[in-house]
Chain A
Amino acid sequence: MKRTLTLLSFGAVLAFASTQLLASGNVDAGKQKAAACFACHGTDGNGIDPQYPRLAGQYNMYLQQALHEYKSGQRTNAIMKGFVATLSEQDIEDVAAYFSSLPTKLDTLNGHIQGDKN
């Protein structure tokens, strides 16, 4: 029992550590690298037009996932395909760190469905 618990906590620590590693981008570097994104997504990351998604305050790891999907071709968009081709893994982490750190207008649906008060 004790050994199981020890193993479990080791596993938990490892899982936590790897998540942190994956999420480690540099916000300042990301700001520099994100210059090309501003033309559509805006300097505030909210999109210059409703056809472009707000990135500001979106989950860091979701932004990375989206960029990876564009890169692999799983997600197709002519404009994004061109941009991600120039991004390294480090660039993706930095850009995602930057946009996820911006003040957000986004939220989960928690509290926004029929029957909720607000």
Chain B
Amino acid sequence: MILMNRLQLLGLTVAATFLATASVHAEGDKATGRKLVYTCNGCHGVVGYENAYPQYPVPKIAGQNQQFIVNALHEYKSGERNHPTMTAQAQSLSDKDIDDIAAYLSSLAK
């Protein structure tokens, strides 16, 4: 009986930990994100700024959807998505940084 209770307790603890991790992952910190996007501003903060070779405008990212930003930065980091500047930037970011940036950018939706 005691063993059973311990197992149940263990199960609950594991479940709670998973839940906690999941919600932490989903919720980045906007204030920290705001500081982190300082670097992004060099290209993404200039209206109509163009990427060179090939030439196309650097996308608007303020107000972009949260999970999409998280995915995009992880794809750049892993090399699945390939852009020299973005790969270098993403590789300098921790998972927490990425969550924070996504939380801030998505909060800017007009």
Contacts and interface: CB of A to CB of B under 8 A. Distances in A.
Contacts of A75: 81-82
Nearest to A65: B56
B19 interface: no
Interface residues of B, number: 34
Interface residues of A, number: 28
A106 B57 contact: no
B61 A47 contact: no
Interface in B36-84: 37-38, 40-41, 44-49, 54, 56-68, 71, 80-82
A67 B80 CA distance: 16
Residue from the set B40, B47, B56, B109 with the largest chain A CB neighbour count within 10 Å: B56
Q: What is the predominant secondary structure among interface residues of chain A facing chain B?
A: loop
B14 to A, nearest CB: 26
22 contacts: A46-B65, A49-B67, A51-B68, A54-B64, A54-B68, A54-B109, A59-B60, A62-B58, A65-B54, A105-B63, A106-B62, A106-B109, A106-B110, A107-B108, A108-B46, A108-B60, A108-B61, A110-B45, A112-B34, A112-B62, A113-B34, A113-B38
Interface of B: 34-35, 37-38, 40-41, 44-49, 54, 56-68, 71, 80-82, 106, 108-110
